[in-house]
A and B are shown apart, each in its own frame.
Chain A
Amino acid sequence: MNTPGLVLESVACTRGGRTLFEGLDLTLSAGQWLQVRGANGAGKTSLLRLVSGLLPPSAGEVRWRGEPVAGQRDRWCRERLYLGHEAALKDDLDPLENLQSASLLAGWPASRAEARAALTDAGLRGCERTPVRRLSQGQRRRCGLARLLLSRSTPLWVLDEPFNALDADACRWLAERLGEHLQRGGLLVLTSHQSVPLPPPARELQL
């Protein structure tokens, strides 16, 4: 028995009177990933926000493990991770504090040691106590992505342009983490303007 993980059923999205997409059907199962493509303004970010629950669909339904997400908010909030355009960091806090408060809010509290290990793995060794405002764009990005390492047991990852502002090493590092996630049976939805160094996606969506 293989219940599909994420299902979109004739989903539509209208923003500011303009229909971005409608009648969108999609099924994503364990270990599969979806690449969303499209020109600027085509609605890629809107689709990701819709999948993660920040934006209610104007028609249709998003289902998770066979049930509408609206009816299982608590479980749904713990089983999906959304990383948006912004790294979602507080400038006045250091990466360690940022990571710990983000993980507390997401419902999987991380110990100081776990957070420190995640930052080291993300290549931020030595900057754990530097206020985020003094980090470079790429380092901020890495700091945001370190949340992925703390949410290994979260099945669905929804990532908006995760490869932006990363150098070649960091891109390779991120691709490895995403590959591991898929091998664990995780699901992944992402947008990217660059070619993604992963096995070809199970689903591809052109908006």
Chain B
Amino acid sequence: MNTLATAADHAAPDAALPGLFDGLRAVFQRDLRIALRRRSDTLAALVFFVLVVSLFPLGVGPEPGLLRTMAPGVVWVAALLACTLPLSRLFADDHADGTLELLLLSPHPLALLVLGKVAAHWVAGVLPLVLVAPVLALQFGLPASAIGVLVASLLLGSPVLSLVGSLGAALTLGLRGGGVLMSLLVLPLLVPVLIFGAGAVQAHLAGLDVVGHFSLLGALLLLALLAAPAVTGAALRIALE
């Protein structure tokens, strides 16, 4: 036992200063690196987003007034789908290759590790959508100031989509047809984000103040940031039992 005691004592100084965000950073960097090597996944979500948004003007017809009123809702719904649908794979790959166990066995808080995974997914998979949104909004003839509001609402709202989506992904982990079930679970929860996100742009188009919409989006984001990672972690522990 002596050798063990010294080994443990030796490790103690490091253990006394556990970088709280070391685990988060490790997961974030790892997942981002994987996303960069599998660009086809990211690209597929992006192409899906662009296609869905572009189909609407073709289907509805070139009436500028109608398109302008529809634009916020169309872009937001397309972003919602393009963001949550690939999320069903968020933990499935890790589950299949056994690396999910590394997360659960880690001494780092599981909620922060989950946050690292979600952050990597958002940066690699959702941020590109937000960046192309202005170009798509031009198709609908939105004025420049409204495009600014649209991008800001997406920046504030889309992390909520990722966070709540991760919860759905954890709850449906290992189930057959988990992807469909996950959409059924998650999409109703995301209705408030859609209402206030698209609503902000519509309010701006109508000449109203958008501070209220953004405050509510911010509140939703804070709530999701606080609650979703911890609940997702608990769901993952149950899924792996």
A contact residues vs B (CB 8 Å cutoff): 2-3, 5, 29-30, 52-56, 73-75, 77-79, 82, 84-93, 97, 101-102, 104-109, 131, 152-153, 155, 184-186
Q: Do A79 and B99 form a contact, CB below 8 Å, given A52-B105, A104-B23, A105-B106?
A: no
Not counting A107-B18, A108-B11, A185-B2, a sample of 10 additional A-B residue pairs whose C-beta atoms are within 8 angstroms of each other reads A29-B1, A30-B1, A54-B105, A77-B105, A86-B97, A89-B98, A97-B30, A107-B106, A184-B4, A186-B4
* Cβ–Cβ contact A101 & B105, under 8 A: no
**Chain A residues with CB under 8 A of B15:** 74-75, 78, 107
**Chain B residues with CB under 8 A of A79:** 8
Listed from nearest, the 9 A-B pairs whose CB atoms lie closest are: A86-B98, A77-B107, A185-B3, A104-B26, A88-B98, A153-B7, A107-B107, A101-B30, A92-B37
* Nearest B residue to A91, CB-CB: B97
**A82 and B240 alpha carbons, distance in the complex (Å):** 15
**A88 and B27 alpha carbons, distance in the complex (Å):** 14
**Chain A residues with CB under 8 A of B107:** 73-74, 77-78, 106-107
**Chain B residues with CB under 8 A of A77:** 105-107
**Chain A residues with CB under 8 A of B1:** 2-3, 5, 29-30, 185
Interface check B108, CB cutoff 8 A:
yes
Q: Do A105 and B26 form a contact, CB below 8 Å, given A52-B105, A78-B107, A87-B98?
A: yes
**Chain B residues with CB under 8 A of A54:** 101, 104-105, 240-241
* Cβ–Cβ contact B2 & A92, under 8 A: no
**A85 and B85 alpha carbons, distance in the complex (Å):** 30
Q: C-beta contact mask, B22-51 vs A, less than 8 Å → 1, else 0?
A: 110011011001100110000000000000
**Chain A residues with CB under 8 A of B2:** 185
Interface check B208, CB cutoff 8 A:
no
Q: How many positions in chain B have a CB within 8 Å of any CB in the partner chain?
A: 35
B contact residues vs A (CB 8 Å cutoff): 1-4, 7-8, 10-11, 14-15, 18, 22-23, 26-27, 29-30, 33-34, 37-38, 97-99, 101-108, 113, 240-241
* Nearest A residue to B29, CB-CB: A101
* Cβ–Cβ contact B241 & A90, under 8 A: no
Write 18 A-B pairs (CB below 8 A) sorted by A numbering. A30-B4, A55-B241, A75-B15, A85-B98, A88-B102, A89-B98, A89-B99, A90-B30, A93-B37, A97-B30, A101-B30, A102-B99, A105-B26, A107-B15, A108-B11, A153-B11, A184-B3, A184-B4
* Cβ–Cβ contact B99 & A88, under 8 A: yes
**A189 and B67 alpha carbons, distance in the complex (Å):** 66
* Nearest A residue to B15, CB-CB: A78
**Chain A residues with CB under 8 A of B4:** 5, 30, 155, 184-186
* Nearest B residue to A107, CB-CB: B107
* Nearest A residue to B99, CB-CB: A88
* Nearest B residue to A29, CB-CB: B1
**A108 and B241 alpha carbons, distance in the complex (Å):** 25
**Chain A residues with CB under 8 A of B8:** 79, 153, 155
> Nearest-CB distance from B89 to chain A (Å)?
14
**Chain B residues with CB under 8 A of A155:** 4, 7-8
**A131 and B38 alpha carbons, distance in the complex (Å):** 12
**Chain B residues with CB under 8 A of A29:** 1
